Structure 1
Amino acid sequence: MITRALTLAAGLTGAAGLSQFPEFSQQYMQRLGGAVDELSLQVDRYHADADALGLPLATYLQRLAAEGPLARTQATNMAGDIARHEYLSEALMTLQGAGPFMRAKLATHIGDRAVAERAMESFKPALPLTFEGVTFAGAGFFAGWLALGIALWFLKKSWRTASGFLPSGRRRRTMRHG
């Protein structure tokens, strides 16, 4: 009876947790889009500065870095902004056309820690009333129920083996030395 109650609780916990994925992934994408937009403004400014000098951006950054420690730091920061812009833009393009089920498959693209932390700060769990939310809740329930059920089965089997009980519940006969 306790096992059933525990596995039900695990299933409900899994359902509650996983049902939040569609909304969280949507909020993550919104934050990701905002980060890409802001970085786009910066990268466009870097291109404009390079264009004003008649240089490709890569050459502009190399020359800037050669001007001294302060300029080298600035060039390194700019290169980091450009690389982050490319990484986040690619992740956003991958996720944009995907629905909630495909976003679950593409969860590795929901991997930018800073964006995820900001999305989590403003995320408010809610009762999922969409098809996707209910589907994720069902999958979460099954996963939680199954995981705890398997864990309890292994614990029960280990306890029986350690205490000398056979799977049928009978004690093993031990030879007495007399």
Structure 2
Amino acid sequence: MLMFGRMLTMAAAILGGLFFSQAPEFAQQYRQRIGGALDELKVMITQFDTQANHHGLGRQEALNVYSSSPETFLRDQGDTMRGIFQRYETLLTQQDELIKASLPIKPFVVMRNADPMTFTNTWRDYAPAVPIDAAGLTWAGGGFFAGWVAAGILGFVLKGATRPLRTNRARKQATPQV
């Protein structure tokens, strides 16, 4: 029984290490996705600014034209463009934070401020990778330790929960049957 518990603890530790080791890779794929989103948003923003300038308007003036339109469609288009500008700035800030963060910290940057759409799409298309850099090995080590501790705690709790059953069985077996 003791050998089985050790094997389970080791398996949990290895699984924890494998799971945690993927955090830096997920952050890398997330950062790449942000780059692609920023490229596409920049195209839309450039087209908007070019059209506005062609008509003698700055960005804010063009947005004001949308806002003051009696047409609901045009007001909605203005709101859409405001959202695009805001999303671009948000993703640009997060990309900058990811670039400046050290490798082991990047997963925390993603978790702290993840863009819901980018996070969901990264998760959907995520491809696991073997971590051979310091960050991947650090996260793998942390996951190994976390898995080891979790298995130890679970084993301790389960051992305590089954102790009364074993004690009662031992008493019944020790009591002579008449």
**One-letter amino acid of the counterpart of residue 27, structure 1:** Q
SS, match of residue 132 in structure 2: coil
Label 1:110 to 1:119 Cα distance change in 2 as closer, same or farther (>3 A): farther
**One-letter amino acid of the counterpart of residue 18, structure 2:** A
**One-letter amino acid of the counterpart of residue 16, structure 2:** G
Label 1:52 to 1:156 Cα distance change in 2 as closer, same or farther (>3 A): same
Question: In the alignment, what sits opposite 2:55?
Answer: 53
What is the TM-score of this pair, normalised by structure 2? Answer: 0.79
Match among 71, 76, 80 for residue 77 of structure 1 = 80
Q: Deviations over 1:90-142 (max 9, x none)?
A: 10011012232121332335612322333334432233222322221111110
SS, match of residue 125 in structure 1: coil
Q: Is the 8 A contact 2:31 2:98 kept in 1?
A: yes
Q: Is the 8 A contact 1:21 1:136 kept in 2?
A: yes
Q: Is the 8 A contact 2:104 2:138 kept in 1?
A: no
**One-letter amino acid of the counterpart of residue 59, structure 2:** L
Post-superposition shift, 1:159? 4.6
Q: What does 1:1-178 correspond to in 2, within 5 Å?
A: 1=2, 2-67=4-69, 68-109=71-112, 111-160=114-163
Question: In the alignment, what sits opposite 1:175?
Answer: none
Distance in 1, matches of 2:113 and 2:103, equals 12
Matched positions, count? 166
Unaligned runs of 5+ in 2: 172-178
Distance in 2, matches of 1:59 and 1:159, equals 73
Identity fraction in percent: 34
Post-superposition shift, 1:48? 2.5
SS, match of residue 128 in structure 2: coil
CA RMSD, aligned part only? Answer: 2.5
What is the TM-score of this pair, normalised by structure 1? Answer: 0.79
Post-superposition shift, 1:77? 1.1
Distance in 2, matches of 1:48 and 1:27, equals 32
**One-letter amino acid of the counterpart of residue 107, structure 1:** V
Point out the structure with the larger helix share. 2
Q: Is the 8 A contact 2:19 2:140 kept in 1?
A: yes
**One-letter amino acid of the counterpart of residue 150, structure 2:** A
Post-superposition shift, 1:75? 1.0
Distance in 1, matches of 2:115 and 2:158, equals 37
